[in-house]
Amino acid sequence: MKELWMSALRALRGSAPEIEGMEPKVFLSLKLSYDHLEGKNIKHCFLYCSLYPEDHDIPVDKLVMYWVMEGFIDNVDYLSDASIKGHHIIERIMDASLLERKCNQRYQIHSIKMHDLIRDMAIWITSAKSNEGPRFLVRAGVGLKEPPTENMWKDKERISLMNNDIEELPVRPDCPKLVTLLLQNNYSLTIFPNSFFELMAKLAVLDLSHTSIKSLPVSLSSLVNLQSLLLCYCLRLEELEPIGGLKELQFLNLSWSGIKKLPEDLGKLVKLNLLDLSHLHQLKTIPQNTICRLSALEELHLFSTCGNLAKKEVPEEEDACEAILGEVATLRHLTTLVITLQSIDCLAYDVFHCRWASLRKFHFHIGTSYMETLVFPSSDKEVTINGCDHFPHGIKAMLKHVKHLHLWHCKGLKCISQLVEDSNSLVELDIHDCSEMDLVIGRREVQDVGALQSLGSLVLRDLPNLKKVFEGQAPRGSFQKLRLIHVESCHKLGISSRLIWLNIGIN
């Protein structure tokens, strides 16, 4: 494939730079790489990248999620499996020299880029000049203040007007074939004509993120085939009506929006696979018996939201949190849960008792802190406990399954034996500013190996009374996976105030 691409570049050097007239000489050469992509869905995945603006860094996770929402990734049982398959598709397209790696950290691709010439070729494939491919209308990131004329919308399957300054939209565009409409990052867009969606019967993916809309038009309810609705960072959007009629909806993202109240008919969206309610700082309540009715839900995101559902002084706060967790625990298809709980007492009982094994990913942030909105989950099974001085049964049951544990400002914590008595999955332990801690790992853990057998990283910071890392002599085989120890401001340990050991093994 690389040779084909280089041949096309040589053809480009010998041709005029204008797109008009380039098709026979350049695009047809580049198209050989496209033609060699195996499978119709992979071709669709590649063409989808052209919906982004020219010379744009495309976040891989977001791109893959679009592919999932579009149905390009099939033959998978869970969203998490689809995400993995999506990353493999990116590698295959990159192997064909049709995408460029933007950044690489520990072999993980975070964003990709489409060469301008490749993008022009993709847009050509989706244009009327080509005899194949879906029909796209792409005017992304070109400074538009007005949308394209209505006659340009008519026969298009996907329209991207993202990253512009559009203020108004057509009153009632006739788009019988339109499947995808991307309007995100039009910050000047404040209102929709009420009839805007009436002639878009096939619309399945709608992205209105990062706009200034104050309400959703009545005609939204006519989108009977809508599967994905993205409203993140719609800061001026306070209500979610009308939404109950969107019976085919599978993906709903309201994160960082101005939503103050969730409608009770949210529970009617029984096909929802993903619901993102993160950072809804104006949300005061979630109607009872709403979450539990979303029986198909696989991913639920409530990061930095649940703590705002009731103020500290309201005595019913813990009951509200417990009620939400109780409803979440009934979701039999749930594989990913990201949640912030203001009080650790919400975990007085292990409501997930037999569900931990089925949760592929969970991220619990427990307690309040100015750091809460700055810390984002980064691994598959992660718990952060902040500012807590007691640890009920429910939290101890959870920590049997955790891989990454962060303990911050837990004043009453003297030793982690209070928390991880028989955990054998702990990979990373980060302890910061727990002023009463004088011992990290007690004799029982050392003798039983327990939490030690998988531990690979140990970070100890600002522990003024810490005298020992572990008690007694470690049995042979303990700490065998330990590769990093970071010690900082733990003066009673009798070692330097800051010490980092990398790539060590203790036998």
Q: Are 466 and 494 in contact (CB under 8 A)?
A: no
Q: Are 255 and 276 in contact (CB under 8 A)?
A: yes
pLDDT, position 476:
64
Among 80-84, 183-187, 293-297, 491-495, whose mean pLDDT is lowest? 491-495
> Helix, strand or coil for residue 217?
coil
41, containing H or E segment = helix 40-48
d(CA 309, CA 178): 38
- 91-109 pLDDT, tens per residue? 999 999 999 987 554 445 6
Residue from 280, 286, 245, 246 nearest 263 by CA = 286
CA–centroid distance for 462 within its chain: 32
Token couple for 392: 């009920």
- Give whole-number Cα distances, 179 to 12, 160, 196, 204, 263, in Å: 34, 11, 15, 5, 26
Say which DSSP state 286 is in: -
Amino acid in the structure at residue 89 = I
Residue 424: pLDDT over 70: yes
* Planar angle of CA 361, 64, 78, nearest 5 degrees: 45
Amino acid in the structure at residue 141 = G
Between these two residues, 480 and 149, which has the higher pLDDT value?
149
d(CA 279, CA 205): 23
Say which DSSP state 91 is in: H
Q: Are 2 and 33 in contact (CB under 8 A)?
A: no
Task: For the beta carbon of residue 190, count every other beta carbon within 10 angstroms.
Answer: 14
pLDDT, position 373:
42
Amino acid in the structure at residue 209 = S
Say which DSSP state 261 is in: B
The whole model's pTM is what? 0.89
Percent of the chain with pLDDT over 70: 81
pLDDT band at 177 (very low <50, low <70, confident <90, very high): very high
pLDDT band at 410 (very low <50, low <70, confident <90, very high): very high
> Helix, strand or coil for residue 365?
strand
- DSSP letter string over 123-182? HHHTSTTSSSS--EEE-TTS--SSPPPHHHHTT-SEEE--SS------SS---TT--EEE
Amino acid in the structure at residue 279 = H
d(CA 435, CA 433): 6
d(CA 216, CA 233): 14
Dihedral sign from CA coordinates of 131, 135, 137, 140: negative
pLDDT band at 461 (very low <50, low <70, confident <90, very high): very high
Task: For the beta carbon of residue 492, count every other beta carbon within 10 angstroms.
Answer: 12
Token couple for 347: 């975990």
d(CA 238, CA 232): 12
Residue 318: pLDDT over 90: no
- Give whole-number Cα distances, 415 to 46, 117, 441, 467, 469, in Å: 52, 60, 6, 11, 10
Please enumerate in sequence order all residues whose Cβ is within 8 A of that of 270, keeping only pairs 6 or more positions apart, or say none.
Answer: 247, 293, 294, 295, 296
pLDDT, position 442:
73
Token couple for 444: 């029982």
Q: Are 156 and 145 in contact (CB under 8 A)?
A: no
Percent of the chain with pLDDT over 90: 56
- 272-286 pLDDT, tens per residue? 999 999 999 999 888
Q: How much is the CA Rg of the chain, to the nearest whole Å?
A: 26
Residue from 182, 184, 187, 177 nearest 205 by CA = 182
Q: Are 335 and 83 in contact (CB under 8 A)?
A: no
pLDDT, position 349:
83
pLDDT, position 178:
98
- Most confident range (mean pLDDT) of 38-47, 108-117, 449-458 is 38-47
Average pLDDT over residues 36-53: 95
Please enumerate in sequence order all residues whose Cβ is within 8 A of that of 41, keeping only pairs 6 or more positions apart, or say none.
Answer: 72, 73, 74
pLDDT band at 496 (very low <50, low <70, confident <90, very high): low
Amino acid in the structure at residue 114 = M
pLDDT band at 469 (very low <50, low <70, confident <90, very high): confident
pLDDT band at 446 (very low <50, low <70, confident <90, very high): low
Average pLDDT over residues 345-353: 84
Q: Are 5 and 33 in contact (CB under 8 A)?
A: yes
Task: For the beta carbon of residue 245, count every other beta carbon within 10 angstroms.
Answer: 16
Between these two residues, 400 and 209, which has the higher pLDDT value?
209
d(CA 423, CA 285): 35
